[in-house]
Structure 1
Amino acid sequence: MPSNPLLQIQFPIPFDQIRAADVQPAIRELLEDARKHLEQIWQNGRPRTFENTLLALDRLTERLDYAMGIVKHLETVATTPELRAAHNAVEGEVSAFHSSIPLQEPLWKTLRQYAATGEARAIAGTRKRFLTKTLDTFRRHGAELDAPGKARLAGLDVELTRLTTKYAENVLDSTNAFELVITGESRLSGLPATARAAARESAAAKGLDGWRFTLQAPSYQALMTYLDDAALREHVYRAFATRATREPFDNRALIARILELRREKAALLGYRNFADLVLEDRM
């Protein structure tokens, strides 16, 4: 029986071998492995070092993040109903696990213990920066909250993951739902031969006559840049600018709820607003 291609870090990535059926068993196995290694970090009875504390934490989700990154990428660029269902089945679990890491009191205690060691006080350069960033990141993600606060933060993160995933799906589906088929070549004035050929090929692939344009970047950018027909450009521009604003892919209610939850999250963590939370370590 062939091994699951998502279980090992491989370059180049074997996209041709990955199937929707691989996703759930691989991600759940990698989650279980990460949980086990997470506990080992604070259960380690040896003296705290950079390697058995910070590097162990850094490597904790390497395989999980590799696999989930591939799944997210494929769901974005080559989705199928089966792949989307598999992605959505594990996305919440992965998000909950990542959100739980800074909330683990034994792990937070372990990091502070290491930070108080002579080795930690003596490190410099990138290792010092890594330690500082790790401690700051844990604080910004709820490590110092009380138990009810941690529970609420975990719930917020899970719901935000669900909503933002649905938001992205709606944008993708709305983008894919649009097509413009032109049957008269005279309306293609200004469009380069390569763009015309691509549009002709796109139409043929759908069993259509003429030239087919979509909101995908190569098609959209060529049309908006070179097409002489201003009315057609406006039509396509408006379609692009109003993606995911109509049923069945309407994101407007999702946006309102996401903003509400982000405000609550920021306040829970002691920030004036979500922008302050996000920008604190960027600006």
Structure 2
Amino acid sequence: MPQSTPAYHALLAQSALPSFSDFAVELIEPALDELLSRNRKNIAELLANFEQQTPTWQTLIAPMEEWDDALNNFWSPVSHLNGVKNSDALRDVYNACLPKLTEYSTEMGQNQALFAAYQQLANSEQFASLNTAQQKTINNALRDFTLSGIALEGEAKQRFAAIKKRQADLGTQFSNNVLDATHGWYKHIEDVSELAGVPDTALAMYQQLAEAKELSGYVISLDIPAYLPAMQYADNAALREELYRAYNTRASELGMALTGDGKQWDNSALIDETLKLRQELAQLLGFNNYAERSLATKMAESCEQVLGFLNDLAEHSFGVAQQDFAELQAFAKQQGAAQVNAWDVPYYSEKLRLAKYDLSQEQLRPYFPADKVIAGMFATVKRLFAIDIEEQQSFDSWHDDARLFSIKKDGQLIAQFYLDIFARQHKRGGAWMADCRVRRIKQNGELQLPVAFLTCNFSQPTADTPSLLTHNEVTTLFHEFGHGLHHMLTQIDCASVSGINGVAWDAVELPSQFLENWCWEKEAIAIISGHYQTGDTLPDELLEKMLAARNFQSGMQMMRQIEFSLFDFSLHMQSDNSQSAQEVLSQVRKKTAVYPTPEFNRFQNGFSHIFAGGYAAGYYSYKWAEVLSADAFSRFEEEGIFNTETGESFLANILTMGGSKEPMELFEAFRGRKPTTDALLRHSGIVA
């Protein structure tokens, strides 16, 4: 009898889009095992050939890319589901698979025969005839072999592999603790008078959250769309303090929980172990500290350069931030507040914004229904980059909220993306873009088109109103779409430098922050706004107030980002881990904070960017790339924000090029010179 095909083979089919309904939890691990086993066998056979012949692009890189891509096409939907449809069963499988992937990755990075083959190709006559993207692919790979410990031997090599495996576990555990701590506490309120000051849109959301938990009254969760309106508008200071404490002690020894004591999700020990392991890893590779190791793949050239950059921004911004806070204190005093605590800052800031500019985020919400913003965003990029975006009505999905769109240029399909924008239970907070498929030429000569996941956490529509976005949420959506365009509009055909791949981490935020600028331009706002009841675009009067309020407390906001960046970088510059994360953060705050932070604040325990994301010793990248994006946008300010030639130049020099060239080279090709901080300081209202 012929053997039947294992059920998990459906997960390994190399289709243009993932078949989410095939991803049954119990099939994921056996599918991964088969894929890794298949790849190992293929690579061993491939390397045996090079004992007799010199490797070429076609005989070495093309097949390696094919096998790496098969792994990515399988794992990216699994990773996505773990973020947007988390369950105990999926989490267990995900946690079981992660060490296998890490082990495989370390094994490949330390494969001497594979390294020798890449080296041989780099030194061969063929190398000079390869195109820029192909050469960059090989040079990046050689650099990454070094960073994977290819030169290590014996015990050091084994230790490196053990550290990588443990680091993957720690990152996942950190992320899970933050998710569980966020959903492990909420505030249930029966009496609406306790919510005086809170806008109707938020009250409707709180009722919906209560209904979902089969409770009467109102529920405020620690998800940002629910937490923020209470902090900004609730007149009840005791409620604000309670929410602030719950949010800012998440995943710490002081954490709050409705069942258990909240300590079950404490990330403190994970942070300590993560830092020790990063330092040990850096030293194994010959770096003094992990910050140096981090910069090996970035635009910034040295730790001194990064610190100089941050301190220079701080020097320009600190005085402005102090003025911002002094103004807030004086205003709060007029309102009868004896002092301004950390949990009072969002509340009095919102009141001050209203008093100064007669404007609140809530007034703007009705003009930004999610569907109108999305359609307007698509119209904006059509004018900039001559692309058309169409929604696909039927596709295999993971949730009813998810939507699928196609991007066409000159009538040709060039990319697709999934959009999942609403907050819900079992979905990780925040907003992010991830790749699902990478543009590349397959071995059979076919072009694989890029596909992206775009995920946000905005408030759900209610029975009476569509999902209405604050202007801050509009900029978040544009930000993630900017990342998506970088990934999807690439014209590079080598997977490892196609789209966002191979782009230096401190340059990867350039397209995302760049696209945010259109959220502030009158011409663009006419396209992205439309009152959900009347269809009227944002009135000039409100727009003028919004523009006037754009740099409200920009000094404080700038210093907050610098605080996070300096904390992250200083933490990873320690070569002996003599100071705890809390001690480093307290020291940084002495230099950067304009108002005191409560002793109980455990911000670091929820700082997923650096402990569970890719931003370790790289959080400064946001500000670094903001300099690039502000300077890039200043060319549009000079030539017209919808100037088609300028848009074409940005598309050609930045978006299509992926990671095929050094970011500074691409930036100079677009801007005609090196970047300066002038535009950023001007846009932020810090320097006139």
TM-score (norm. length: structure 1) = 0.90
Q: The residue matched to 1:213 in structure 2 has which SS?
A: strand
Aligned to 1:175: 182
Matches within 5 A, 1:88-167: 88-167=95-174
Q: Give, in whole Å, the separation in 1 of the partners of 2:252 and 2:106.
A: 30
Aligned to 1:58: 65
272, 280, 284: which one pairs with 1:268?
284
Question: 2:50 aligned with 1:40, yes or no?
Answer: no
What is the letter of the counterpart of residue 68 of structure 2?
T
More strand by share: 2
Distance 1:51 1:216, change over 3 A: farther
237, 261, 269: which one pairs with 1:253?
269
- 1:42, CA displacement in angstroms? 1.6
Aligned residues between the structures: 283
Asked if 2 retains the 8 angstrom alpha-carbon contact of 1:41 and 1:107, the reply is no
Aligned to 1:235: 242
Runs of 5+ in structure 1 lacking a partner? none
- 1:91, CA displacement in angstroms? 1.3
- 1:211, CA displacement in angstroms? 1.2
Q: Give, in whole Å, the separation in 1 of the partners of 2:23 and 2:63.
A: 28
What is the letter of the counterpart of residue 278 of structure 1?
S
* Mean CA deviation greater in 163-172 or 69-78: 69-78
- 1:90, CA displacement in angstroms? 1.6
Q: Give, in whole Å, the separation in 1 of the partners of 2:270 and 2:166.
A: 11
- Give the percent of matched residue pairs that are identical in Structure 1 and Structure 2: 30
Aligned to 2:423: none
Q: Which digits, 9 at most, give the CA deviation of each residue in 1:4-46, with x for residues without a partner?
A: 3532344544434422112111111111122122223322345
Asked if 2 retains the 8 angstrom alpha-carbon contact of 1:76 and 1:172, the reply is no
Q: Give, in whole Å, the separation in 1 of the partners of 2:203 and 2:152.
A: 58
Q: Give, in whole Å, the separation in 2 of the partners of 1:60 and 1:261.
A: 30
Distance 1:73 1:233, change over 3 A: farther
Question: 2:44 aligned with 1:28, yes or no?
Answer: no
Q: The residue matched to 1:272 in structure 2 has which SS?
A: coil
Asked if 1 retains the 8 angstrom alpha-carbon contact of 2:209 and 2:220, the reply is yes
Distance 1:22 1:41, change over 3 A: same
Matches within 5 A, 1:77-92: 77-92=84-99
- 1:3, CA displacement in angstroms? 4.3
Distance 1:233 1:33, change over 3 A: farther
Distance 1:118 1:245, change over 3 A: same
Distance 1:216 1:67, change over 3 A: farther
219, 222, 240: which one pairs with 2:229?
222
Aligned to 2:647: none
1, 20, 23: which one pairs with 1:18?
23
- 1:226, CA displacement in angstroms? 4.0
Asked if 2 retains the 8 angstrom alpha-carbon contact of 1:263 and 1:274, the reply is yes
What is the letter of the counterpart of residue 29 of structure 1?
E
Aligned to 1:210: 217
Q: Give, in whole Å, the separation in 2 of the partners of 1:230 and 1:66.
A: 49
Aligned to 1:199: 206
Q: Give, in whole Å, the separation in 2 of the partners of 1:170 and 1:200.
A: 27
TM-score (norm. length: structure 2) = 0.39
* Mean CA deviation greater in 45-54 or 4-13: 4-13
Q: Which digits, 9 at most, give the CA deviation of each residue in 1:36-58, with x for residues without a partner?
A: 22223322345421232223333
Distance 1:186 1:3, change over 3 A: same
What is the letter of the counterpart of residue 253 of structure 1?
A
Q: Give, in whole Å, the separation in 2 of the partners of 1:231 and 1:89.
A: 43
- 1:203, CA displacement in angstroms? 0.9
Asked if 1 retains the 8 angstrom alpha-carbon contact of 2:198 and 2:234, the reply is yes
Aligned to 1:277: 293
Q: Give, in whole Å, the separation in 2 of the partners of 1:245 and 1:277.
A: 28
What is the letter of the counterpart of residue 272 of structure 1?
N
Q: Give, in whole Å, the separation in 2 of the partners of 1:63 and 1:129.
A: 22
Runs of 5+ in structure 2 lacking a partner? 254-262, 301-688
* Mean CA deviation greater in 228-237 or 30-39: 228-237
Q: Give, in whole Å, the separation in 2 of the partners of 1:280 and 1:126.
A: 20
- 1:174, CA displacement in angstroms? 1.0
Q: Which digits, 9 at most, give the CA deviation of each residue in 1:94-130, with x for residues without a partner?
A: 1110111110111011111111111113334222222
- 1:2, CA displacement in angstroms? 8.8
Q: Give, in whole Å, the separation in 1 of the partners of 2:49 and 2:101.
A: 24
Asked if 2 retains the 8 angstrom alpha-carbon contact of 1:102 and 1:138, the reply is yes
* Mean CA deviation greater in 233-242 or 149-158: 233-242
Aligned to 1:189: 196
Distance 1:235 1:101, change over 3 A: same
Distance 1:237 1:139, change over 3 A: same
> Which one has the largest radius of gyration?
2
Distance 1:274 1:204, change over 3 A: same
Distance 1:227 1:38, change over 3 A: farther
Q: Give, in whole Å, the separation in 1 of the partners of 2:108 and 2:16.
A: 28
